[in-house]
Amino acid sequence: MTQPRPGGPAMARPMVIAIDGPAGAGKSTVTRALAKRLGMLFLDTGAMYRAATIGVLDAGIDHDDAQAVAGFVRARHIDFTDAGDVRLDGALLARSRLRSPETTAEIWRVADNPACRSHLVALQQALVAGRDAVVEGRDATTVICPDAQLKIYLDASPEERARRRLSEWPGDKPQPSLMEVVSSIRDRDDRDSHREVGALTLTDDAVHLFTDGLALNEVIARIIAYAVQRQPFLLEKLVLDQLIVGRSRQPGYVRVAPGNLPGASDGWQLGLTNPAPDRMPGTTRSLTRNHGGRQAGTLVQGAAILCLAGRGPVPEHVVALPMLPQTWYIIEPESWHAVIQAHGTICAWAESDRIIEERFELSATQISELESFLGVYLPH
Ligand code: DC
């Protein structure tokens, strides 16, 4: 029952989120999950270097001859299936071989070769051209997508990265010690940041995001918050199938009240949108299910509505919608939503009737996700 936005759809140029960072900082896991969450193309550029390396190893050419390696790689086509598996000249490559330590040890033959890099960069740019995409690599922010709207440098301490590497070490391979992995990570960092072309670089316009101690969903919520800051229409576009976005034709429809709730001592609180005009939103971390009327959400510092959305028996995810002048977001009957009451902010809600409330406790994961989002979106 999605209604078109009055005045036509919001047009925005494709959004590119470029993510660089050292090996083992969690880039693959984070970017894959982020792209899925945002419904964007995921481009794993490291997989393309891995695929080219496997091609070189199997081709029977002299690996030490940089010109022969370049000639071979520049004649290859590398792309991905819809399921995200990498293909070398149309042939699928097994994930286990792609990420094997043997492949990793030889990647430098391709990655340090400028002629190979320029070919792979051209393929990567063609894959993302005109599309919303999350691009992951070492040179995503600098060479592949220098104009990306959002650049993230995902980082973690060498020890944390070594622990993560060991936790996914193949069971059939002898495990090195933590210190051995730390030392090989430092070597790889050195190589990645000192190559002549396409070196890993933290640029001034990138967000330096340290992931030590953060759960995956917290990292993702932070990146989404940065993305929304840069392109406010992003989330609106993504949740259009869940929320009806409308413009109020009745100026008196929404009441505005101070957001200082009795007993609200935390920096932020979840509140229920409340249909009754004489009641303030509740202060509990729970949701209400709207079976009838129309409700507006809470304004977050006058900038956004943050809500949980979804149509199923439980809410699925957190969304934030920018609060644009003269625009009210009307939540679809029977969809789930909770709104954020940030301490000291203004809240607004619509008068309505025929509301039945069902209460629903938020999970710890959902709460940490909201806190992560707010930590970026509403810095104190
Ligand atoms: O992200 P990954 O571990 O799959 O990357 C494998 C190697 O490929 C990495 O050591 C450096 C290289 N690489 C690169 O040079 N440029 C990229 N854009 C991606 C990866």
CATH code, 355: 2.60.120.10
Residue 177 contacts by C-beta under 8 Å, 6 or more apart in sequence?
none
Among the residue ranges 70-79, 160-169, 238-247, the one predicted with the least confidence is: 238-247
88 within some domain: yes
> Is the domain of 124 the same as that of 43?
yes
Q: 257 forms bridges with which residues in the sheet? A: 347
- Are the C-beta atoms of residues 165 and 173 closer than 8 Å to each other? no
| CA 47 to ligand 1: nearest atom | 4
Comparing 358 with 253, the larger pLDDT belongs to: 358
Give CA–CA dist 340/277, Å, rounded: 18
- Are the C-beta atoms of residues 368 and 362 closer than 8 Å to each other? no
> Is the domain of 198 the same as that of 320?
no
Mutate to test the pocket of ligand 1, among 45, 99, 194 (most ligand atoms within 8 A of CB): 45
> Is the domain of 250 the same as that of 210?
no
pLDDT (tens digit per residue) in 330-349: 555 455 555 444 443 434 44
| pLDDT, position 378 | 61
Q: Kindly give the distance from the C-alpha atom of residue 45 to the centroid of ligand 1, in angstroms, as a whole number.
A: 7
Pocket of ligand 1 contains residue 188 by CB under 6 Å: yes
Give CA–CA dist 351/160, Å, rounded: 50
2 within some domain: no
Which residue's C-alpha comes closest to atom 8 of ligand 1? Answer: 46
Last residue of a domain, one of 197, 213, 230: 230
> Is the domain of 226 the same as that of 243?
no
> Is the domain of 255 the same as that of 284?
yes
DSSP H stretches of helix in 19-76: 27-38, 45-58, 66-74
Which residue's C-alpha comes closest to atom 7 of ligand 1? Answer: 46
For residue 1, pLDDT beyond 80: no
**Per-residue pLDDT averaged across 191-195, rounded?**
88
| CA 49 to ligand 1: nearest atom | 8
Pocket of ligand 1 contains residue 23 by CB under 6 Å: yes
b/e burial code for range 98-122 (CB count within 10 A of at least 16 → b): beeeebbeebebbbbbeebbebbbe
Give CA–CA dist 102/229, Å, rounded: 41
Pocket of ligand 1 contains residue 45 by CB under 6 Å: yes
Mutate to test the pocket of ligand 1, among 27, 107, 154, 165 (most ligand atoms within 8 A of CB): 107
| pLDDT, position 160 | 93
> What pTM value is reported for the model?
0.76
Pocket of ligand 1 contains residue 155 by CB under 6 Å: no
370 within some domain: yes
| CA 23 to ligand 1: nearest atom | 3
pLDDT (tens digit per residue) in 53-110: 999 999 989 999 999 999 999 999 999 998 889 999 999 999 999 989 899 999 999 9
The structural domain count of the chain equals 2
> Is the domain of 199 the same as that of 259?
no
| pLDDT, position 24 | 83
For residue 351, pLDDT beyond 70: no
Mutate to test the pocket of ligand 1, among 138, 185, 201 (most ligand atoms within 8 A of CB): 138
Pocket of ligand 1 contains residue 49 by CB under 6 Å: yes
For residue 278, pLDDT beyond 50: no
Q: Kindly give the distance from the C-alpha atom of residue 113 to the centroid of ligand 1, in angstroms, as a whole number.
A: 13
Domain holding 26, by residue range, is 14-230
| 300: DSSP letter | B
Q: Is 196 helix (H, G, I), strand (E, B) or coil?
A: coil
Q: What is the dihedral of CA 357, 358, 361, 365, to 10 degrees?
A: -90
> According to the per-residue pLDDT averaged within each range, which of 129-133, 188-192, 288-292 is highest?
129-133
pLDDT-derived band at 230, boundaries 50, 70, 90: confident
**Per-residue pLDDT averaged across 159-163, rounded?**
93
Last residue of a domain, one of 209, 230, 251: 230
**Per-residue pLDDT averaged across 287-309, rounded?**
48
Among the residue ranges 129-138, 212-221, 238-247, 260-269, the one predicted with the least confidence is: 260-269
